[in-house]
Amino acid sequence: MFRIILAAALSVSFITNGATGQSNKKGAILHGTVAKKLDDHLSKLVDKGFSGALLVAQKDRIILAKGYGFADREKKAPVTTSTVFAIGSVTKQFTAAAIMKLQMQGKLNVDDPITKYFRDVPPDKSKITIHQLLTHSSGIPFRAGRCGGEPTIDDFAKVVLSSTLEFEPGTDYRYSNHGYSLLGAIVKIASGTSYERYLYENLFRPAGMKKTGVFLPKYSMDDIATGYRDGQRWGFLFDKLWGYTELPVTKLKGEPCGLPYGGILSTVEDLYKWHKALEGEKIFPNDVKQKIFASHVPEGKGAKSFYGYGWTVFSTPRKTKLIGHNGDVNSVFQADFRRYVDEDVVYILLTNSLNLEQGAVEVSDQISKIIFADRELSDLPQSK
């Protein structure tokens, strides 16, 4: 589920104009007048409680990459571009990518019914397919029970599949976190390894993402941002209950519960590496990427946005393509990842502190307006 406000007239041709590039010892990059405007805006938000990291790039050029505020206020540890954040539902693109990689490897097919992977599936859910789980068209509710103890895949699947369907599979759209939990379980079953291990070996490592995951990266605890909510210290991520579970993330053992729908940790630097990998064919050939980014299912009746495989797909006012996803963990850690495909612009926002008036999507909308504002359509580069 991805909410966005688009400026009426957008352009990117001016991004690289203006001031010369600059950086500092913490790895920040500032290049151009737009980067300066963005930097000024986010710096002002710090005084209102914002802290996080932002990376903005056009074509192969990073124009802004910088941390704002503190990763740990009590220790006065600043946010940097290598600070690790929870990314919430941005995780879903990795779960979907793992499914597509397994299909490439001949280990599953998105048209498979879930009865191929789970025992004792109730009759009303027996025709649910992997494709329907990927596109939130299975009818499984947003939340389908809780995860207590250390459940097996079969135990967890039984809880989810005992829920009441919201509609007949394949006939509508309902964003479902636990539908993606089932996909994570399928990744484990089809691959014969853990969900995170499969992502690491087939997605993260090939893309050069060294600080993305949960248990496998060699994190220093000082690398991971502490969360703040409404001005108060919320705490350290690994000590908190995880989404709709009854356990801290450290006790989930990576299977299956919250990790596949919203449990991955990452940095703006690593997510940019992922973006670059998706631009090429290092991870997926073009035909597979077309399936991932296709407008499979409208996000509700009359919606102008569509859900692909782990991404939301939009048409901008210029009839150009925008794909993205946001994420939220306990209204503390929030993320927004937007790829303006035809303009070749990407920006990634990760936060560990916001305020009641502004979430990551609102801040991201402001970023979008600064990047793309006040330009005529005639100024736009031709879409390729």
What is the average per-residue pLDDT within 81-104?
A: 97
User: 172-181 pLDDT, tens per residue?
Assistant: 999 999 999 9
Q: How many CB atoms lie within 10 A of CB 104?
A: 14
Between 62-66, 226-230, 277-281, the lowest mean confidence (pLDDT) is in 226-230
What is the average per-residue pLDDT within 70-91?
A: 96
- Residue 229's SS3 state is strand
C-alpha to C-alpha distance for 237 and 333, rounded to whole angstroms:
9
* Of 295, 322, 320, the residue nearest 309 (C-alpha): 295
Mean pLDDT of the chain: 84
C-alpha to C-alpha distance for 190 and 337, rounded to whole angstroms:
28
Residue 270 pLDDT exceeds 90: yes
From the candidate CATH numbers 3.30.2010.10, 3.10.620.30, 3.40.50.970, 3.40.710.10, the one assigned to the domain spanning 22-78+213-239+264-379 = 3.40.710.10
Please report, for the chain, how many H helices and E strands are present, in that order.
11, 16
**17: confidence class by pLDDT, cuts 50, 70, 90:** very low
Domain limits of the chain?
A: 22-78+213-239+264-379
* Of 138, 122, 127, 123, the residue nearest 170 (C-alpha): 138
**Radius of gyration (Cα) for the chain, nearest Å?**
20
**151: confidence class by pLDDT, cuts 50, 70, 90:** low
Q: What single letter denotes the amino acid at residue 194?
A: S
- Residue 125's SS3 state is helix
- In sequence order, the β-bridge partners of residue 67 are 53
C-alpha to C-alpha distance for 92 and 326, rounded to whole angstroms:
10
Report the predicted TM-score, pTM, of the whole model to 2 decimal places: 0.88
The answer to whether 134 and 309 have CB atoms below 8 angstroms apart is yes
CA 94 to centroid of chain Cα atoms: 8
Residue 244 pLDDT exceeds 90: no
The answer to whether 312 and 336 have CB atoms below 8 angstroms apart is no
C-alpha to C-alpha distance for 143 and 262, rounded to whole angstroms:
13
User: 348-373 pLDDT, tens per residue?
Assistant: 999 999 775 667 788 888 898 898 87
Q: How many CB atoms lie within 10 A of CB 297?
A: 20
C-alpha to C-alpha distance for 248 and 229, rounded to whole angstroms:
18
